[in-house]
Amino acid sequence: MTFTLTWLTSLAMLHSGPVAAGQTGLTVALGLVIFAFNTNWLAPIEPKFAQMAGSGDIARLRNEFRKSFWRASILAGSLAAAAVLGVVVVLHLYPSFSDRILPPRDVLLLILGVLSVGAIRNMGSYCRAHCVDPCAVPLAVGSAAVILAGTFLGSLGTSLVAGSYALGMTCIALPWSTTAFWGTWIESRQ
């Protein structure tokens, strides 16, 4: 994910100049903070998940995962909403800041993509407890689609680049990863 977002910042520099690259970079930094809060909630307890799966305590694993996943998702969603609202308020109160961050619509699109990647990463923590990671391939394909789309659409503006990120992660990688996750969830029952 970090590579994909860094690539978007580089594309903004290439196609739209240093101001757009700075705006994209600041928005990406904001998204990475939200991603860190989202994924760092589950990352420290992944070994505990693996231990539960290895000992056959699947019911407890599912319960712990479900609670942790929803807590991380609610935290990340709240942070994302606050970040987008904060951008709207700051740009309304201080219009001179508009050259420092992307417009609110583009911020929303990038953060939507970041939330999707966080959900994929967190679903992967359950799958990795069962020694599989079916979420890795959809995430890689979604990232490749974003990089290709951003490369070809980058000259048309940062809105299309942000849109391609949200589309690639939310409409390609997330549904595919969710399907793979449910396959692991159902299979672990047996």
Residues ≥6 apart with Cβ < 8 Å to 47: none
User: Rounded to an integer, what distance in angstroms lies between the CA atom of residue 168 and that of residue 187?
Assistant: 27
Residue 145 or 153, more confident? 145
Residue 55: half-sphere exposure toward Cβ, Cα within 13 Å: 10
Confidence class for position 96, pLDDT limits 50, 70, 90:
confident
Q: At residue 160, does pLDDT exceed 80?
A: no
Quote the percentage of the chain above a pLDDT of 70.
94
Flag whether the pTM goes above 0.75. yes
Q: Which two tokens stand for residue 152?
A: 């070809």
pLDDT for 2 equals 66
The pLDDT value given to residue 175:
92
Beta-carbon contacts of 153 under 8 Å, excluding residues fewer than 6 positions away, are: 160, 161, 164
pLDDT at 67 over 80: yes
State the average pLDDT over residues 77-88. Answer: 92
* Mean pLDDT, all residues of the chain: 85
